[in-house]
Structure 1
Amino acid sequence: MKKDRDLKMQNYNISTYRYRELKYFCKQYREKQSQLRSITELSSPGFDSNGGGNKISDRTGNTALRRLQLEKELEIIEQSAMEAGSEFYPYILSNVVDGVRYEHLEVPMSRRAFFRMKLKFFGILSTKK
């Protein structure tokens, strides 16, 4: 199995470490989708278990905040892919999220054009995140 190489992102002023941060942010996409689907717990406020006196922990509020955060992170990835190539965004997502190689995507464009679009995706993602 070939090892993924880092993209050269100097034209977008993205360092190697920033690129890796964005890359692994995208790799968490399916995990975030799964977490979002599993967040269905709604409950009334309970008491704080840390022994902090009469503080109240609002689990419903915390759950709602977590849902919003996950939805926002997923939307950032999806919107960046759509802005990079509106009709080709499913291919971009498959590549950056699931690691499906270009050769297996059956993209109706050249390899070079696809990788330019992928670079553009990471540039857009970097500004949004």
Structure 2
Amino acid sequence: MSQAAPAPAAPVLQRMLDCRRLQDGAARLACFDREAATVDAAQQSREIVVLDRDTAERGARAVETERRRFEPFEGVIAGARQQPNGRWVLRLEDGTQWVQADSETVRREPRAGQTVAVRPAAMGSYFANIDGQRAIRVRPLN
């Protein structure tokens, strides 16, 4: 399986990376110092934003959860666990987690591979139909 080529660097960052090509040590250091200051200023002004992969993925999941706030969606359960209070925590394949917010009994235990249909409900909660069962009230965990 081949990996996709990395995205091109922002021009302000690429100029700093290009400093590595200079053979003269003093010129290379001066280039790095100058371009690092430019990168720092660009980051401070939010012209560029530098994130590690985990932070970017968490942000993408948060955006996806926010997008879902007002529209119904379907997902697939990747895992489910029951809390000591009897309420279920559902982890979907997209990485989001939903916790049961009511005390309704789930007739058939949720398990990986089942579909779940989620739609907005009142007061910031949602209804979830797990594998076609009667809806339970849930709220997002992440």
TM bracket (short chain): under 0.3
Q: What TM-score, normalized to structure 1?
A: 0.25
- Structure with greater proportional helix content: 1
- Structure with greater proportional strand content: 2
Q: What TM-score, normalized to structure 2?
A: 0.24
Query: Whose Rg is larger?
Result: 2
